[in-house]
A and B are shown apart, each in its own frame.
Chain A
Amino acid sequence: MLLPTGVRFENFATEGRYIHTWPQATWLAALLLALVLVPHAVSLYVTGVLTVMFITLMAVYGLQVTVGMAGQINVAQSAFMGVGAYAAARLSENVPFWLAIPAGGLAAALVSIVFALPAIRVKGFYLALTTLAAQVMFPIIVLALPSDWLGGTSGMAVEPIEIGGRMLSTPLDMYYFTLAGVLICSVGAFNLQRTRFGRALCAVRDNELAAEVTGVNVSYYKVMAFFAGSLFAGVAGGFFAYYIRYVTTENFNLLLSIWYLGMLIVGGLSSPLGAILGTAFITAIREAFHALGGALLTAFPNLGGGLVFATSNVILGICILLALIFEPRGLAHRWSVLKAAYRIWPFPHS
């Protein structure tokens, strides 16, 4: 991490802290305060959009672990999210949410191991295909299971969250609930890469042979990369289930998995900050296109909604392409460059 001039550490514990300077702490506190206050300044709709964005971010954090840190392609994050959602929905009948959601995460993580095993032998496109199989199999298996297990074709209703005898049912309740969840996930995601486990994943990503030579059990860490990434996805699924309060297989499709991957690539694979920026950027763009599409339809009623829908998706794709062409390392890298430029201003070069 690039630090301002003059910052030095007296001991390892100080260096090990995530926040090193007062300005960093102030900015973080300001961000947290803004996150707490923002639903009071915007409409309920925007509050809802932010809630969904937080849930999405949890899933993208997981993808950052599997794809960004360990270099293992995963196009089934939405399916793993679905596993977590179904598990949480099933458990919501009998156990409180604070058990159901982590249990959903664990269920998704355990299921992911089955599809992670091929990662020991294959990589790249071949690995993508095995995870694609997970995505395709997910709805088929859920629908084929006896309906009293996971609801079959009917799907499953989710009991609302109750804390101290109070139901969390308003948009504000759900916003703060998911905000708490995403903050916990953020702490996990940002610290994971600084742990022995995280460094092992990075070693596997950078050079498998070199990692093996230095004592990293490559097979084990490849599987664990899926385990950890799907844990985040499962937790996101649990939050999603409590938010929508009904789960069906349609909510967890391949398109969503692709979007999650797109968000991570646009944001930057190398750090959880990329997941945050990518998720926020794509969400903002989608909402903007939605508003623009509505305006176009108002102005040109004969344009046809189908054309607007298709065009907005194409333009969204072009945005991603442009982001990749002009900033292949993602928005997170652009953020680092901007930050560095700010620190050394008015000098033009670092």
Chain B
Amino acid sequence: MKLQRLVSGIASSLSAAALLTFAPASAMAADYVMSASADFTGPFADVAPSTVSGIRAVAAWWNDTKGKELGTNVDIKVHDMRYDASVVASTWPSILATDKPIMHLGFGTPDLITLMKRLPGDKVPMLMSTAMVGLVWKPNGWHFSFRPTYSHEFVGLLNHLQEKKGGKLTIGAISTQTAAGFVDQVKGVQKFAETNPDRFTVLDVQWVDASPVSVVNEVRTLVRQQPDVILVGGTTAQVVATGKALRELGANIPIIMSTHNGLTEVAKGIDLKEIEGSYSAFAFAPDNQEALPVRDLYTKYHTGAGNWGIAAAQSSYQALLALRVLEQAIAKGGKDAVTGQAMYDAMLGADYSEASLMGSLPDIKFDTTAPFPVGKLKVKAQVVRDGKIATLGNDWLPVPDLPKW
């Protein structure tokens, strides 16, 4: 049976490859196509099934409900980009020619750096599920994310912790210099501390390998300076190494991380009890939030590989926002006038309320000044309590103003 599935899988894959190789285009059954990047055979292959399942489940729900009401439906075309800029550059023209997408659902830095200059010419907006970085904080782009920069997300949590603690919050950071995005995260937080010197201090930044074996020496240097929190926005390996180093040094300092290296991922490499009190900060509703309508519709419409979790939640919200934008585009120009340009206009021309996004995202408003929402940004967080991942309350945490760095 399995052999049969393998053979049919190989056959279908080969025929798909042959189609991709020798046939230029085929007619689409759906009214609209949204293309999506995934990483099935690259470094993030483990989370790809869940990521894609989130997009597909929300699209299925939309087609079954709102789509039926509007008399239309959306087809999601997923492409394996291998998290590689050269693969993105090679694949994108065929996506344009074959899929003719009205929007692209992007994933990670390779999509950003390869497509950001092309999208305005191609007239296809891109909506990311990953957080932005300062390096693409430029006006008039066609690339957007519902998440602000990593630095914004960290700052939202840091602000909350400082208010809770009172006085000055001292921050230590561990990152790597070989990845521009990770350096950028630290620079944003440093800028925030510089502009709020009475409330925050970045004591020190320790630069380590992307996948360190041990960071005991670096953590020891930080611990001596007695930080209230240690920011590790880089890789999962860095968080795991920091957690182990803190244990070896007998120090109990919370680690702050993001989603790509967040608690779910870290739990695979270290017992969460060892990093009790650590946080993961992000600008969307946690997957384990008590009331979460998107999780319910995922459960109902999910088929195939992938499970509900932080990765599926993130991509579900990405698809939900994209479909809300589509609704706006249809409302504005009619069903037959939905193009990439119409989606771009709808994205910038409307506000998307927390209620319309089912509480999964805060109120969202885009303009041409930044590739992420403008106005009052908000974040949520997860925390390790009793060795388990819990939500840090149900309320959104406001993000203070963070000037460009």
Contact = CB atoms under 8 A, between A and B. Distances in A.
Contacts of A305: 39-41, 44-49
B179 to A, nearest CB: 6
Interface centre among A153, A157, A250, by most B CB within 10 Å? Answer: A153
Contact of A249 (B10, B47, B133, B178): B178
A299 B10 contact: yes
A224 to B, nearest CB: 30
B43 A309 contact: yes
A250 B179 contact: yes
A140 B177 contact: yes
B91 interface: yes
Contacts of A244: 85-86, 89, 113-114
B304 interface: yes
Contacts of A309: 41-43, 45
A238 B167 CA distance: 51
Contacts of B82: 290
Interface string B166-183: 000000000001111101
A250 B13 contact: no
Contacts of B89: 48, 52, 243-244
B116 interface: yes
Contacts of B93: 44-45, 47-48, 170-171
A153 B304 contact: no
Interface string A277-306: 000000000000111111111111110111
A299 B21 contact: no
Contacts of B118: 169, 245
A239 B117 CA distance: 17
B13 A295 contact: yes
A48 B6 contact: no
Interface string A208-252: 000000000000000000000000000000001001111011110
Contacts of A248: 109, 113, 135, 180
Contacts of A243: 86, 89
Interface centre among B41, B44, B118, by most A CB within 10 Å? Answer: B41
Contact of B17 (A169, A249, A291): A291
B337 interface: no
B46 A43 contact: no
Contacts of B6: 295-296, 299-300
B90 A155 contact: no
B134 A154 contact: yes
A300 B2 CA distance: 8
A155 B133 CA distance: 11
A312 B41 CA distance: 8
B120 to A, nearest CB: 12
Contacts of B183: 143, 153
B5 interface: yes
B29 interface: no
A309 B40 CA distance: 8
Contacts of B39: 305
Interface string B87-130: 00111011001100000000001000110111001000000000
Q: Dominant SS at the A interface? A: helix
A285 to B, nearest CB: 13
B184 interface: yes
Nearest to B113: A246
Interface string A25-59: 00000000000000001111111110110000000
Nearest to B10: A295
Contacts of B46: 304-306
A290 B45 CA distance: 12
Contacts, number: 168
Nearest to A310: B45
Nearest to A42: B21
A139 interface: yes
Contacts of B47: 305
A45 B20 contact: yes
A249 B22 contact: no
B14 A295 contact: yes
Nearest to B45: A305
Interface in B27-62: 39-49
A246 B94 contact: no
Contacts of B355: none
A301 B49 contact: yes
B191 to A, nearest CB: 12
Nearest to B88: A244
Interface string A170-184: 110000000000000
Nearest to A159: B117
Contacts of B114: 244-246
A298 B91 contact: no
B8 interface: yes
Given A44-B93, A48-B90, A52-B89, A296 B117 contact: no
B85 A297 contact: no
Contact of A245 (B23, B117, B136): B117
Contacts of A47: 90, 93
B365 interface: no
Interface string B287-314: 0000000000000000011000000000
A300 B116 CA distance: 35
Contact of A51 (B48, B90, B133, B135): B90
Interface in A44-79: 44-49, 51-52
9 contacts: A43-B24, A44-B93, A47-B90, A139-B179, A139-B180, A157-B117, A295-B12, A298-B9, A305-B49
Interface of B: 2, 5-6, 8-10, 12-14, 17, 20-24, 39-49, 80, 82, 85-86, 89-91, 93-94, 97-98, 109, 113-114, 116-118, 121, 133-136, 177-181, 183-184, 187, 304-305
Nearest 3 A-B pairs (CB), nearest first?
A48-B90, A305-B45, A299-B9
Interface of A: 41-49, 51-52, 136, 139-140, 143, 151-155, 157-158, 169-171, 240, 243-246, 248-251, 253, 289-302, 304-306, 308-309, 312
Given A244-B113, A248-B113, 17 more contacts: A43-B22, A44-B94, A45-B90, A45-B91, A154-B180, A243-B86, A244-B86, A245-B118, A250-B85, A290-B82, A293-B41, A294-B13, A298-B9, A304-B45, A304-B49, A305-B41, A305-B49
